[in-house]
Amino acid sequence: MISEKMKGLGSNRSVIRELFEYGKKKSAEVGAENVYDFSLGNPSVPAPQSVEKAIKELMATADPTVLHGYTSAQGDAGVRKTIADNLVSRFGLPVKPELMYMTCGAAASLCISLKALACDGDEFITFTPFFPEYRVFVEMTGSKLVPVKSAEGTFQIDRNAFEKAITPNTKGIIVNTPNNPSGVVLTDDSIKAIVEVLEKKEAEYEHPIFIITDEPYRELVYSGKPDSPFMKLYDDTILCYSYSKSLSLPGERIGYVAVSDRMADKSDVYAAICGAGRALGYVCAPSMMQRVVATCDGETADVSVYKKNRDLLYNALTEMGYSCVYPDGAFYLFVKSPIASANEFSELAKEYNLLLVPADSFGVEGYVRISYCVSTDMIERSLPKFKELICRMQSILQ
Ligand code: PLP
């Protein structure tokens, strides 16, 4: 006997992976230059020069037994201090190195945080649309994911829907801004609504309801400055971060969890974070990369490329008649399917070699996600295909 649940997770590829594999096959048939693959969120901009410089310096100067050796389970103390100091000076966050845990990227940060908090019968709320792996991560702990619909069209927080979804079993909420898959950045009003509702419900139920803020796209914003708003406003906050997108290092698997220093139960929660890291086998995040990100923390890959892509694609598609959610961050464009079924629309798009991810698994029906972390040249070449596709849609709808 083996776990049927795990077998199922391993056997069924996500819709994103399916499309990506299809794209590879199609490229072999018709040439890569004729396939417009918008499926994956793999950064297309190289890591900044400072990453290479830091690696070279470490390789040249550090004691290899230290550089490649185990660090403390929760990460090197000096690395945690550098990152915590930066979070204080950049965003004014109440963090301390003693409450930080280095991880293998945001996926590990989330799994550790959820495992640390979850007890039998717990529920975790998230807002639609959401990163589909949240369901896998929450269910892995034996808890239930409760998706709450965001306001259609803007995907900002629907305060009433959120308040109604909270029950005595709600252990926490997972919030993600800038958002994958919509590209939406939560407004101050949405942030305030989340905080006010949670403060009210914490008082009503007399137990903490945690915010898990998932911020891998924090630095990918196109107006205004990067921010990390929740921990400043709400004491029961756990911050999950990853350098996968900001430094274009997704394959290096490096990030962190930070527990708020203002949290009443911070010592217990941090101990549970360390315990969850231990139980899940996520101890000692990659040692050399810990030092690299400490050196490069706060820097970014060239985000201007994504902004250029965003402007090009958003302007061109809206002009053609597509309806798109305005994306102010991350590198995704969320486009309303001109026909009711996003799956059908995605299938029709394939006929034009446009690979667009239907968003049903993101908790919203009738949309497709376009990842524009691709070359600007590919976007330019794809535009006539998008035009042909919308003309076809219009003829279907007439
Ligand atoms: N959270 C969100 C919203 C993401 O989009 C991703 C990856 O795409 C992750 C978490 C996982 O990030 P990582 O690759 O750093 O584990």
> Do 222 and 123 reside in the same domain of the chain?
yes
Q: Are 369 and 359 in contact (CB under 8 A)?
A: yes
Q: How many domains does the chain have?
A: 2
Question: Taking CA 242 as the corner, what is the angle to CA 230 and CA 304, rounded to the nearest 5 degrees?
Answer: 90
Distance 216 CA to ligand 1 centre (A): 6
Residue 361's pLDDT is 86
pTM of the model: 0.96
> Do 191 and 202 reside in the same domain of the chain?
yes
| DSSP track, 296-360 | HTT--S-THHHHHHHHHHHHHHHHHT--B----BTTEEEEE-SSS-HHHHHHHHHTTTEE-EEGG
Compute the distance between CA of residue 210 and CA of residue 207 in angstroms, rounded to an integer.
10
Whether ligand 1 lies within 6 angstroms of the CB of 252 is answered as no
Q: Which of 242, 282, 371 to mutate to test the pocket of ligand 1 (most atoms within 8 A of CB)?
A: 242
> Do 33 and 168 reside in the same domain of the chain?
no
Residue 375's pLDDT is 95
Domain with 103 in it: 49-296
Whether ligand 1 lies within 6 angstroms of the CB of 250 is answered as yes
pLDDT, one tens digit per residue, over 59-89 is 999 999 999 999 999 999 999 999 999 999 9
Q: Are 109 and 241 in contact (CB under 8 A)?
A: yes
Residue 129's pLDDT is 97
Residue 16's pLDDT is 87
Helices (H), 169-236: 188-205, 230-233
Domain's final residue, options 258, 277, 296: 296
Q: Residue ranges of the chain with pLDDT lower than 50?
A: none
> Do 320 and 292 reside in the same domain of the chain?
no
> Do 292 and 307 reside in the same domain of the chain?
no
Compute the distance between CA of residue 123 and CA of residue 112 in angstroms, rounded to an integer.
16
Residue 359's pLDDT is 92
pLDDT, one tens digit per residue, over 343-379 is 999 999 999 999 999 999 899 999 999 999 999 999 9
User: Which CATH number does the domain housing residue 260 bear?
Assistant: 3.40.640.10
Residue 349's pLDDT is 97
- Name the amino acid, one letter, at 270: Y
> Do 84 and 14 reside in the same domain of the chain?
no
> Do 209 and 257 reside in the same domain of the chain?
yes
> Do 87 and 220 reside in the same domain of the chain?
yes
User: Which CATH number does the domain housing residue 387 bear?
Assistant: 3.90.1150.10
> Do 383 and 253 reside in the same domain of the chain?
no
> Do 384 and 364 reside in the same domain of the chain?
yes
- Closest by Cα among 6, 215, 240, 246 to 110: 240
> Do 80 and 169 reside in the same domain of the chain?
yes
Distance 245 CA to ligand 1 centre (A): 8
> Do 75 and 213 reside in the same domain of the chain?
yes
Give the nearest ligand 1 atom to 330 CA.
Answer: 5
Domain's final residue, options 245, 280, 296: 296
Domain's final residue, options 226, 261, 296: 296
- Closest by Cα among 344, 317, 341, 338 to 394: 338
Distance 107 CA to ligand 1 centre (A): 6
Whether ligand 1 lies within 6 angstroms of the CB of 183 is answered as no
Residue 233's pLDDT is 98
Two tokens, residue 150: 């965001």
